Amino acid sequence: MKPRVVIVSPANARANNGNWHTAARWARFLSHDYAVKIVERWAGADPLPDAMVALHARRSAESIQQFRRLRPAGRLLLALTGTDVYRDIHDDDAARLSLALADRLVVLQPRALDELDAKSRIKASVVYQSASTLKPAVRSSRHFDIVQVGHLRHEKDPFTPITALRHLPADSRIRLTQIGNALDAHHADAVAVVTRDEPRLRWLGALSHAATRQRIKRAHLLVIASRMEGGANVIVEAITAGVPVLASDISGNIGMLGEHYPGLFPFGDAAACATMMRRAETDARFYDRLLRACGQCARHFVPEREASGIRSAVARVIAL
C-alpha cells in the first residue's frame, strides 16, 4: 500500500489561482509513489496520513496544528507562499507557529530564503515551479499585445500597468488584456470604469487554465506588477511559452528572473512601466534582450526538475 500524503491547499479548484495549480501539480508529481489527497483544511477526521504537505503558513495553520497534535514529530512539510514570506511570518503568530512546527520548508525562489531566520533557513529548500513548454504562436501584427494575469486584488497591484496605458503615445499599438476576476467591489468598480474609458484595455475576467495559457502564448509580453510574490506561476507559464516578461522589481520577481534581468521596473511606477512597455514595442534589440534573458531562466522551470524537488522534500520528511 502506498504511503498516504495529504496536501492542504486553502485555495481550491474554483479559486483557479497559482496556489491551487501548485497543489494540483504536486499531487500529480507525487501520485506515482504516494496516495495523494488535496483538501482545503484537515481536521483529523480522516485517517492520519503518513505525511502532510501544507501550502500557506497562516491559512493552513489550524490543519498544521491538528496534524502535529496527532503526530508529535516528523512528516510535516510546509510550502511558503508570497504572503507568508513577505508578510505573515513577520507579524502573524499563527504563521510563525506553523514555521516552527514544520520539519521541512519549501520556498519557490531563492530570494525567499533571505526572509527566514537562521533556524528556518536550515530547514528550507528551493523548488522552482514549472510548466510544459508551448510552441510559439502567431501573434498579432496590428496590435502589440500585453497580458496581465491574476485576480484583481491589492497584492497584485493590477492598476500600475492599467494606468501605464495613459502614458503611452497615441501611435502606440499596445493593447493590454487583463485576465482574472475582481475579488472585491473596489477592484470590480474601478476596472469597469477604466475599461469603459480606456480603449486599449480588455478585461476578460477569469478563464480556464488552458485558455489562459493560450492567451499568454499569443501575447507579445506578460506584465506582472505585484507588490509581493512567493514565486509567480504566470512568470513560468509565460517563459515556457516563449513570451518575455516585464515585472515589478520586488524580491519574489527578482528571485525568479535574476537581479540583472532587463525587464524590471520600479514597483508602483506606472510611468516607468509605460516606458518599458513602449521600449519593448518599438526597440527590437531590447525585445530580443528580454527573450534571451527569459530563455536563460527557462532551465529552472522544467517539470522534471520541479517533480524531483518536491519528491525529494516529501521523502525527507517521510524518513523522519
Where are the chain's structural domains?
4-129+302-318, 144-301
Residue 219: its pLDDT value, please?
A: 98
Topology of domain 4-129+302-318 in CATH is: Rossmann fold (3.40.50)
Please write down the long-range contacts of 23-26, taking CB distance under 8 Å and 24 or more positions apart.
Answer: 23/55, 25/129, 25/130, 25/306, 26/53, 26/310
Residue 18 amino acid letter: G
Residue 14: its pLDDT value, please?
A: 66
Q: Which of 38-42, 106-110, 187-191, 283-287 has the lowest mean pLDDT?
A: 187-191
With a cut of 70, say whether residue 13 has pLDDT above it.
no
* CATH of span 144-301: 3.40.50.2000
CA distance 16 to 180: 9
Which residue did the predictor score with more confidence, 137 or 237?
237
Q: Which DSSP state fits 88? A: I
CA distance 9 to 81: 11
b/e code 186-217 from CB counts within 10 Å (16+ = b): ebeebbeebeeebebbebeeebeeeebbebbb
Closest CA to 241 of 251, 233, 253, 249: 233
Residue 300: its pLDDT value, please?
A: 97
Do the domains 4-129+302-318 and 144-301 sit in the same CATH topology, yes or no? yes
Task: For the full predicted model, state whether its pTM sits above 0.85.
Answer: yes
For every residue of 25-74, which 3-state class applies, written as one string?
Answer: HHHHHHCCCCEEEEECCCCCCCCCCCEEEEECCCCCHHHHHHHHHHCCCC
